[in-house]
Structure 1
């Protein structure tokens, strides 16, 4: 099972690398306070990849290590809101731009490294938007299970301004 998952993750990220990135690079936020960013974030919407498909109550969790690296876990209920909660993917991130803390390199299974860009962030850290240079992946995260529609619509508008095809984002069901 782990080797199958590894092969699938590798294929996904290698295909993302093979696509030529859009002409304008994604703009990251000016500053991320890592201490405030750590903790649990509910996945409000995403451009789902295989590990996220058919997930309910998805959560991204972050914990800062003493050496500055970041533990990252993705968990969800697979197939049904009544399914057991399970950790799907674990990763280790390293901040690549210490000036902003908004550009990370995230390593899966110790082998595959992908870019993680904080491209939008609420001043109060109530929500965040994560992008990938290819724009084939993206996540809208929030501290609460629900995000006001007006806020979500503004986030989608800004994602469109950054070159994302916003119709690819799917809301993730969160049990309230």
Structure 2
């Protein structure tokens, strides 16, 4: 299977997984999100610090995400998985804010085969906690199956990471399963 085809399959899997995850978890209160998010400030390069395991990311890989605001108000998304051997896998797509969410909930649709899978009405990228200076963001899905901590720096201090782990736990995520960036 060539790299382009593999990337399309990965993007389709990611979209399907995120779409299926957007129903509220059983016996959990609604997932709280961050206050208003300025998508201009949110744009730029982010580094994954930790995540819950999922079927579309290699457990040993790390990820980078670049968000670029577009003139129509959407955000271009470029996710890059970096594997231990240095190989990279990239998926691109578009994020749009869910009306009434103050930009804290986004619908992300990836290009290629994944474009045929519609994004959930309530969004599949919820910004749960955002540092006031936009240096770190905790992102997840309302069913608590998917979770990422992103930061502007490649590495956060253990104390800072722990703040976000505690928030994720408080919000009902299974933090015992977190995969951390080396």
Q: 1:84 to 1:23 in 2, by over 3 A?
A: closer
TM-score, normalised via structure 1 length = 0.85
C-alpha distance in 2, partners of 1:14/1:37? 23
Select which of 64, 70, 73 maps to 2:75: 70
Write out per-residue CA displacement over residues 9-46 of structure 1, whole angstroms, 9 at most, x where no aligned residue: 46534653578555311101111111110011000001
C-alpha distance in 2, partners of 1:122/1:6? 28
Write out per-residue CA displacement over residues 51-97 of structure 1, whole angstroms, 9 at most, x where no aligned residue: 3214534201111110011111110222x1x423342x222111013
2:51 maps to what in 1? 46
Select which of 99, 117, 120 maps to 2:126: 117
By how many angstroms is 1:135 displaced? 0.5
Which aligned runs of 4 or more in structure 1 are off by greater than 2 angstroms?
1-23, 54-57
C-alpha distance in 2, partners of 1:117/1:14? 12
Write out per-residue CA displacement over residues 78-127 of structure 1, whole angstroms, 9 at most, x where no aligned residue: 2x1x423342x222111013552101111123223151110001111110
* Structure with a larger share of its residues in strand: 1
TM-score, normalised via structure 2 length = 0.82
C-alpha distance in 1, partners of 2:161/2:31? 19
Aligned-partner SS, 1:36: helix
Aligned-partner SS, 1:50: coil
5+ residue gaps, structure 2, are: none
Q: How does 1:1-176 map to 2 (within 5 A)?
A: 1-2=5-6, 4-5=9-10, 8-9=13-14, 12-13=17-18, 15-16=20-21, 20-78=25-83, 80=84, 82-87=85-90, 89-98=91-100, 100-108=102-110, 109-112=114-117, 113-114=119-120, 115-173=124-182
RMSD: 2.3
